[in-house]
Amino acid sequence: MGPGQPLRGFRDDNRFGSAYPHPMTDIPKPWRIKSARTIYNNKWVMLREYETVAPTGADAKYGLVHIHNLALGVLPIDEDGHTMLIGQQRFPFGRYSWELPEGGGPQDLPPLDGAQRELSEEAGLKAEHWLPLIADVHLSNSITDERAFAFLAWGLSPDHSFEKDSSEELTVRRVPFAEALKMAASGEITDGFSLVMLLKADHLLRTGALPPELAKRMLAGS
């Protein structure tokens, strides 16, 4: 299982982790799995406990949260250089969170399909143009194998093809791209996935790596 390859199912073998050698390591030492058991499983996550041998040679117990879906995100940009932030109450921290449109999608479908659904479901929008922004980013690789993909989207128009999740009470806030960046820098946006999307897009904008039409719109929102 290497970078960019779809994760069809979790594998328990003695090559776990060995597909990602550190560039400064001549001979990477993988974790070795001696045994594994499932602690909990539902349609979103599976908690596995492992008896392992660490790269140091020491015995170690390891808990891993396997995420059944991909994490999918969208950074939409409208004609005025504004983006859409989605506000919702998040359960784990008991806090209200401002985020870019994001959610989960099946591992066996193209990430773009799920991203298009999330944009419609959360922001009530569809986009004529899509550009990959990040691919196969690991959001918390010490305890979970979640993989994230995100896209820039522009040429926006209304769309309500997908119903909102019944457990989500969402607020849509339209803000200039530059203001969203300030919210990221100030700590007002705390969602790590949204931060990655915003800062990567800003880097591409500053280095001239975006399509001229899209860059012009984003600069207009500065």
Residue 127 and residue 91 in contact, taking contact as beta carbons nearer than 8 Å: no
Residues 7 and 76 in one domain: no
pLDDT confidence of residue 161: 85
Query: pLDDT digit string (tens) for 156-174?
Result: 999 988 777 777 789 999 9
Residues 214 and 170 in one domain: yes
CA distance 174 to 163: 20
Q: 181 vs 17, 62, 65, 212, CA distance in Å?
A: 34, 36, 31, 20
Average pLDDT in the 131-140 region? Answer: 96
Residues 130 and 155 in one domain: yes
Query: pLDDT digit string (tens) for 95-119?
Result: 999 999 999 999 999 999 999 999 9
pLDDT confidence of residue 24: 61
pLDDT confidence of residue 38: 97
Query: pLDDT digit string (tens) for 167-218?
Result: 778 999 999 999 999 999 999 999 999 999 999 999 999 999 999 999 999 9
In the predicted model, is pLDDT for residue 1 greater than 50? no
* DSSP characters over 31-57: -EEEEEEEEEE-SSEEEEEEEEE-TTS
Q: Which two tokens stand for residue 140?
A: 């918390």
Residue 84 and residue 124 in contact, taking contact as beta carbons nearer than 8 Å: no
Residues 147 and 200 in one domain: yes
Boundaries of domain holding 214: 69-220
